[in-house]
């Protein structure tokens, strides 16, 4: 494991335990066993570290979203969406403890929001990528023309976010069998509401 990865691992641990607001670059560098100067050789600031933690140290939503464009027309639509739902719930469960302290101060949230925009990230990305994927599936005839790809994306990801919030509040990550069942039910219901398409 290289320096960059060790810094990200330390950042993820500290952010999960203390939240973003209280995880300073000095503390992250110390926990990783490096100087703060070394940290800044790999990352511009704490916001970039935060974004990289979400991409690289939390369950693989970013990686899966990055593959969606290539999945249009491949495999079974229902199975693709079930995988996405399960992955999104895991991601949101893992990222809640990291991100929640951003909301402890409106000034902190505003500053973080502005910096995230500069870096080209943000919480809108999953919705945008899933919408694009669903629109591609629609053009291929695998999602009915009457379906609204953005609404489908919003319904699925909104449900994932809410279920993750409930799981995090309860202090229990959802068991894999329950997560698979949730994914099946959510996807089946959404596809049924869009006229029941979803086969491969």
Match 């990528």 to its residue by tokens. 129
Residues 98, 53: contact at Cβ < 8 Å?
Answer: yes
Token couple for 178: 């329950």
Token couple for 53: 């933690």
- What the chain holds in terms of domains, given with CATH numbers, is 1-57 (1.10.10.60), 60-200 (1.10.357)
Tell if the pTM clears 0.85, that is, is over it. Answer: no
Token couple for 192: 């049924």
Tens digit of pLDDT per residue, the chain (200 long)?
799 999 999 998 998 888 888 889 999 999 999 999 999 999 999 888 988 887 787 768 888 998 998 999 999 999 999 999 999 999 999 888 888 877 877 887 888 788 878 877 778 889 999 999 999 999 999 999 999 999 999 999 999 999 999 998 998 888 999 999 999 999 999 998 886 444 44
């Amino acid at each position: 494991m290289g320096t960059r990865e060790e810094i990200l691992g330390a950042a993820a641990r500290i952010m999960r335990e203390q939240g973003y607001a209280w995880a300073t670059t000095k503390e992250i560098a110390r926990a990783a066993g490096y100087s703060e100067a070394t940290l800044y050789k790999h990352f511009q600031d704490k916001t970039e570290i935060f974004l990289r933690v979400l991409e690289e140290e939390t369950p693989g939503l970013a990686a899966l979203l990055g593959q969606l464009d290539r999945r249009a027309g491949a495999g079974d639509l229902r199975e693709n969406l079930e995988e996405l739902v399960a992955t999104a719930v895991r991601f949101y469960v893992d990222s809640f403890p990291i991100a929640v302290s951003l909301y402890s101060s409106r000034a902190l949230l505003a500053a973080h929001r502005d910096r995230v925009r500069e870096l080209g990230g943000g919480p809108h990305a999953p919705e945008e990528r899933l919408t694009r994927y669903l629109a591609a599936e629609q053009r291929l005839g695998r999602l009915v023309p009457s379906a609204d790809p953005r609404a489908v994306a919003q319904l699925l990801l909104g449900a994932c976010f809410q279920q993750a919030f409930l799981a995090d509040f309860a202090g229990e990550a959802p068991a894999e069998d329950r997560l698979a069942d949730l994914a099946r039910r959510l996807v089946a219901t959404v596809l049924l509401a869009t006229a029941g398409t979803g086969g491969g």
